[in-house]
Amino acid sequence: MREYKENAIIVTSNSGVAKSVGYFTAKIKGIIEVSDEEMEGLLSLFCLRKNEMGMTVVSLDKPNGRTAFRLRGVRGLTVEQMVAIGVYFLIPFGKIRRAFDYRGMDDEVLDIMKEGMRWKTSRPPSNGSSSRC
Amino acid sequence: MEDKPTPFKWKLIAMLKRIMNKEPTNFVQHVYFKIKLGEWWKLYSRVANGREDGMTYLCPYKGTGDVYLASRLLAASIGPDRVRESTVCVIGESSAKVARLFGFEDVKSLSQNEMDQMMFLGDVAGYGSLNLFVLHPDPPNSVTGISDHIRNYNGLNFLDIYRAGIFGNEYMRSEPPKFLDVSDKVREFFEENNLIPGKTVVIAPYVNTLNMLPIWFWIELVDSLRNLGYTVCTNCGGENNPIYGTVKIFPEYYEMKDFLEYAGFFVASRSGLCDVISSFSMCKIIIYQPHLYWGSGNNISYFSLNNMGLCSDAIEFEYQGIEFLKLKDDVLKLLHEWEVTHPKEEEEEKKEDGSE
């Protein structure tokens, strides 16, 4: 949100992300949920048209061929650092210190919250899951 | 002079581009990209097809240092048998020579445009499905890399980015290449050109990626070196001229070790050549350009040969602002210090004889 202020639209194939975005920020313009297949197609199109698409892919392993996840933990590099600096170019890097409060019982949202907490350290996530758009 | 008429092919392409820009409808886009994909596929078939073991390695950036590290780590990663069998694609013949140092026999030298096309195809169709492996952590002209800005964060250097970012192993060990024995040829060259073995300084003023030091600095340095009794060579190829008062040399990479070790001294602006010569045993003075930032750090913290572990005996330093005269004095001082602390074998023998 520091990068895109109030005009960002989040496209995701993860329903947990769609449900939990509201707990992280109130500034986004909209959320579009797509299927995995549609996401693959969109990413292929993005690779073809690159900058003309006006899209930022927030992931360490997508689009196909991105291998930044291999740097996770190298010299203590965290996923938070990689996404902030590598994807959004938020330089200088400042760690997010705000605590996110969720008291509901939705498993998908809880998963995202837990994953978020894990990514703030350099330790790779144990289930090997990847970030999504 | 009369202008040549534009060939029909280019007129047609220009017309299609105009239509594309005016009417980016699905149909026009479809036809355009079908043609493009056809071209890329044809190139891919020529470069990578017919391989039974599958993998084709791409070096999408032509920096000498990048190709050196990529080839060195790849050779360590796949082992000598697969090195001989693997296809490596690089940009330009100079990069191909670097890759061949490590024993790669099937090295294909592509143009920048051809490499871009291979990368486009990989981006769109998927590198895995095409059995392509990219030897760069953040390939230019591709959306796959995000590590450019991460450089230097937490002390992440050039070698870390290659070892971990490409091969997924930050502790990976690798060996320098084996250089050929051309000592007779080198000796002959020294005699022909009146160069003094062990008291010759090879300077490398020309660089591709990073900034160059002003030529007058090199002229002043050469002047001072000659006054101190050194003979000087300039390593330069192509259209570059040797610095006044020096002998022009441009040895092949595999001849470099014998040449430089016989000469005794190497002074250079940081360039990819410094990676190639990092394992040699002689005085290596590497000048780093200031005010160049890589991520959160500067040039020397990212590219230092000693920090990367490519060697431990390089004399590396950064000059300040535009203090080139001070830089010259510093180089001469360091050269002298090295000479005092590393006496030649003959001198040592003489000392020993005297003491007996």
User: pLDDT (tens digit, 9 = 90+) per residue, B136-192?
Assistant: 988 888 888 888 888 888 889 999 999 999 998 889 999 999 899 999 999 999 999
Q: What is the pLDDT of residue A130?
A: 37
Q: What is the pLDDT of residue B129?
A: 85
> Which residues of B are less than 8 Å from A48 in CB distance?
33, 120, 123-124
Q: Out of A85-94, B94-103, B217-226, pick the least confident.
A: A85-94
Kindly list the domain boundaries of chain B, sorted by start residue.
48-167, 183-343
Burial of B80-115, coded b for 16+ CB within 10 Å and e otherwise, reads: eeebeebbbbbbbebbbbbbbbbebeebbbbeeebb
Q: Is the pLDDT of residue B12 over 60?
A: yes
Q: Out of A85-99, B193-207, B281-295, B310-324, pick the least confident.
A: A85-99
- 8 Å CB contact of A77 and B153: yes
What residue in A sits closest to B161 (Cα-Cα)?
A71
Q: What percent of chain B has pLDDT over 70?
A: 90
Kindly list the domain boundaries of chain A, sorted by start residue.
9-119
Q: Which residues of A touch B (CB under 8 A)?
A: 44, 46-48, 50, 57, 60, 63-68, 70-71, 74-77, 81-82, 85-87, 89, 91-93
- Which one has a higher pLDDT value, B124 or B221? B221
A129 three-class SS? coil
Closest CA to B285 of B307, B302, B270: B270
- Measure CB to CB from residue A63 to each of B134, B144, B150 and give the nearest one: B144
Average pLDDT over residues B258-281: 93
Q: What is the pLDDT of residue B124?
A: 85
Q: Is the pLDDT of residue B61 over 70?
A: yes
Q: What is the pLDDT of residue A128?
A: 38
Q: What is the pLDDT of residue A129?
A: 38
The tens place of each residue's pLDDT in chain A, 133 residues long, gives 555 566 788 899 988 888 888 777 777 888 899 999 999 888 888 887 776 677 889 999 888 888 888 988 888 888 888 888 888 888 778 777 766 677 777 777 777 777 766 655 544 444 433 333 3
B283-288 and B264-269 as β-strands: parallel, antiparallel, unpaired? parallel
Judge whether B246 and B203 are in contact, CB under 8 Å: yes
- Measure CB to CB from residue A81 to each of B128, B142, B153 and give the nearest one: B153
Q: Is the pLDDT of residue B196 over 60?
A: yes
Q: Tokens at residue B280, please? A: 């040699």
Report pLDDT digits (tens) over B281-295: 999 999 998 887 887
Q: How many CA atoms lie within 13 A of A52 on its CB side?
A: 6
The CATH superfamily holding the domain B183-343 is Glycogen Phosphorylase B; (3.40.50.2000)
Q: Is the pLDDT of residue B46 over 60?
A: yes
Chain centroid, CA B152 distance in Å: 20
Q: What is the pLDDT of residue B225?
A: 94
Report pLDDT digits (tens) over B231-245: 999 998 878 889 999
Task: Tell me which range, A28-42, B48-62, B333-347, is most confidently predicted by mean pLDDT.
Answer: A28-42
- 8 Å CB contact of B146 and A65: no
Helix B324-341 vs helix B215-227: crossing angle, to nearest 10: 40
Q: What is the pLDDT of residue B353?
A: 63
